[in-house]
Amino acid sequence: MFKNMFKSGCFVRTAHAILTWLITLVLFLHNTDLRRWGERGDVLQPLMFSAVVLLSVLLYFTVSLMDPGFVLSDDDTQGTPVVRDEELETMIPQEQSSVKQRRCGFCFLLQPMRARHCRTCQRCVRRFDHHCPWIHNCVGERNHRWFLLYLCVQFAAVCWALQAACSGVAFASSWPLWFSRNGFLLAAIGVTGVFSAVVLLLLCVHLYLASANTTTWEFMSRHRIVYLKHRDSEENPFDRGVVCNLWDFFCVCGTVAWERIYSRRANGTV
């Protein structure tokens, strides 16, 4: 049963929620800035902190539970064959000989360009970035922007929590007494400190990936990807400049025909 819970992501998601609210409870129970503001009648700061924490939890579950952009199988589209045919025709331009259809070696579906099979999810994901064990879901075309937004809010929450935890550390006449008074706060400082560093690193990495219109998989495995390995190491056929890349990343919500963009670049057109 425990193994099934871990595989389904229930254990990881529950642990994330419990840890988040446990640290929040520790910060409000100790003599931190959050508690002192509340005792003085200034409830705005505690309410804002609680709202940021709540938003981070909601975004976490949104990214964790939403469809990252799974490639539809014939069973998924049964009863709507016309829609499926139109999708394939739009995504894969048959008139361009430079773009070849590729079937996944695991699920045997036709893979759109930039899609990859995730062995953990056992599905092909459009514009695959990576499989994140912490959210127990893939990061792909549909949830990558939400993943980046989650990282922004999470970074604000853990940094604020780290500052609040440090503000509550009390002095004592001896080391044993100091540890006994501040044990929970020290644990909170340790957890939020580690999370601050990790989230900041992920945030910087994914902001760079979004600005360059590339993915973690493409960046790390360029030499093994058919449509990239024969190009120069600095050449990205999907790059349209930082501004356009960020606009497309955050504002374009539909499915993108990467094959057509790649074909236009291959033929020297924009």
pTM to 2 decimal places? 0.86
At 98 the pLDDT is: 53
Select the more confidently predicted residue: 266 or 195: 195
| Residue of 151, 125, 123, 152 lying closest to 140 (CA atoms) | 125
Q: Looking up tokens 């003085």, which residue turns up?
A: 40
Tally of residues, the chain = 270
pLDDT at residue 270 tops 60: no
Q: Hey, where are the domains in the chain?
A: 2-67+142-192
- Beta carbons of 12 and 136 less than 8 angstroms apart: yes
Q: Looking up tokens 């050449």, which residue turns up?
A: 235
| Residue of 249, 160, 148, 161 lying closest to 199 (CA atoms) | 148
Tokens of 165: 């935890």
Q: Kindly tell me the burial class for residue 169, based on how many C-beta atoms sit within 10 Å of its own C-beta (0-12, 13-18, 19 or more).
A: middle
The Cα 47–Cα 36 span in angstroms is: 13
The Cα 205–Cα 63 span in angstroms is: 18
- Beta carbons of 32 and 168 less than 8 angstroms apart: yes
The Cα 122–Cα 31 span in angstroms is: 48
pLDDT band at 74 (very low <50, low <70, confident <90, very high): low
At 153 the pLDDT is: 98
- Beta carbons of 196 and 155 less than 8 angstroms apart: yes
Average of per-residue pLDDT values in the chain? 86
Query: Which residues are tagged catalytic?
Result: 132
At 61 the pLDDT is: 96
Give strand pairing partners of 132. Answer: 137
DSSP symbols for 147-176 = HHHHHHHHHHHHHHHHHHHHHT----SSHH
**Which amino acid belongs to residue 70?**
F
Q: pLDDT by residue (tens digit) across 90-118? A: 444 444 445 566 788 888 888 899 999 99
Among the residue ranges 54-58, 66-70, 223-227, the one predicted with the least confidence is 223-227
pLDDT at residue 171 tops 90: no
At 106 the pLDDT is: 87
What is the separation, in whole angstroms, between the first and last Cα of the chain?
A: 54
Rounded mean pLDDT, 226-230: 86
Among the residue ranges 51-55, 93-97, 208-212, the one predicted with the least confidence is 93-97
The Cα 125–Cα 89 span in angstroms is: 19
